[in-house]
Amino acid sequence: MSKEYDLVILGGGTGGYVAAIRAAQLGLTTAIVEKSKLGGTCLHNGCIPSKALLKSAEVFRVTQQQADEFGVKTGDVSLDFSQVQKRKHQIVDQLHAGIKGLMKKGKIDVYHGTGRILGASIFSPMPGTISVEMDNGEENEILILKNLLIATGSKPRTLPGLELDETHVLSSDGALVMNALPSSMTIIGAGVIGIEWASMLTDFGVNVTVLDRLDHILPTEDREVSVAMKKALEKRGVTFILGAAIDTESLEKAETVTISYTVDGATHSISSDKILVSVGRSAVVDDIGLANTEIQVENGFIQTNKTYQTKDDHIYAIGDVIGGLQLAHVAEHEGLHAVEHMAGRKVEPIDYEMVPRCVYSYPETAAVGLTEQQARDQGYEVKIGKFPFQANGKALVNGHADGFVKLVTDQQTNDILGVHMMGAHVTDLISEAGLAMVMNAIPWEVSSMIHPHPTLSEAFGEAALAVEGLAIHM
């Protein structure tokens, strides 16, 4: 069977389904092809389930370790990991049902199966028609389209020679569905995902060691944040082995998993119940029919212009599959921009320096804009404003006073170049900093805004005052 659409979206993850909703709002007949579940990685294997587990880990840590500080006597505290997983599934299922409802509301057709791009054929003189191999075994559906949006996302990457079996050697996907917690875990990779898992597992009582080839953690973040986060996690029991060259061929699986690594010329080995490989994600570009198009792939990612068009200008691509900032909120906005463009509307290119990025560990980190080093490397004469949460009343009341807010500014123009935060709830606070940068606010304007007391947001106002050495409570 064949059916015609204004837009077909290959992939129903965050970027794909948001783009579909916007297309329907603009009056475009729209279909999504999804081989798994609507919501994609973010909802089912990433953002939401991992944050649900992190919240359970936080409650366990606070109840077990901090309740006495608040005058709450809890007695013996234990963890029911099956209930932790059950709660995670309930949250995911509720959100999944909501997305399916939005598809019905927008009259968006959803095809459950594997979609592949066809070349020029009897269906269309241009490449892009989609053949859907249906999950239910029915005859392939042929979707004839005016525009195609590729939003196939990404999958966990591993190291050459280090096979993911999801039993002994896990990806983040495998770790999310563990039936029981291991007593020890070696995490390979100290980026965002590795640090979130290190924080979570140590709160659950797992003995955690993190290996990374670099000499510092969270390499995309400001160095002060990286250093402070490492100290905070070490204080809670996480062991870091940095500057480590990992010998993937040395992997041994028995009752425990053992792997060797070299630091400063000396070879060592480490054994643990499981290994979690957290070394980034690769785009899903295989077996989707790209060879039938003019689309260019470089370093594993689809190449697009600023309006997300590929070499075949009626075929667009967004999200993890094009590289860049592999974040759900980035994919959403790329999808919105692509749909607006194909609908003939004028759109301004996304300024990726204005995109907030977050790490949901304990403590959390959040940032927008340039790091201090990036600003200096770009030739700015930098001026810093910094304020610690230890001087913030609400942080002390909450019992989470680690961390700080840091503003990186241009001394010549007084523009805010970047904002970096570490502490509890900073992933919620960072949006004010993002708005300030989008509106070209200067520190004086930020500090002029009356922040309610007592709130964590006061720390942002104080950091803005600190740029000129005028912080009140420091």
Cβ neighbourhood burial of 121 (10 Å; 0-12, 13-18, 19+):
middle
Q: First and final CA of the chain: distance in angstroms?
A: 70
Phi, psi of 371 (to 5 degrees): -75, 165
Positive or negative, the CA dihedral 353, 355, 360, 364 is: positive
Measure the CA–CA gap between 363 and 236, rounded to whole angstroms. 11
Mapping DSSP onto H, E and C, the string for 310-334 reads CCCCCEEECHHHHCCCCCHHHHHHH
98 Cβ contact partners less than 8 Å away, ≥ 6 residues apart: none
Count other C-beta atoms under 10 Å from residue 391's C-beta: 17
Strands 207-212 and 184-188: parallel
Check 89, 268, 453, 473 and give the catalytic one: 453
SS3 359: strand
Strands 382-388 and 404-410: antiparallel
Measure the CA–CA gap between 363 and 365, rounded to whole angstroms. 7
For the question of residue 96 being annotated catalytic, the response is: no
Bridge partners (DSSP) listed for residue 366: 358, 421
The alpha-carbon radius of gyration of the chain (Å, integer) is 24
Cβ neighbourhood burial of 269 (10 Å; 0-12, 13-18, 19+):
exposed
164 Cβ contact partners less than 8 Å away, ≥ 6 residues apart: 156, 158, 170, 171, 174, 277
Bridge partners (DSSP) listed for residue 185: 208, 274
Measure the CA–CA gap between 387 and 440, rounded to whole angstroms. 21
Estimate to the nearest angstrom the gap between the alpha carbon of 365 and the chain centroid: 12
**Could you list the active site residues?**
453
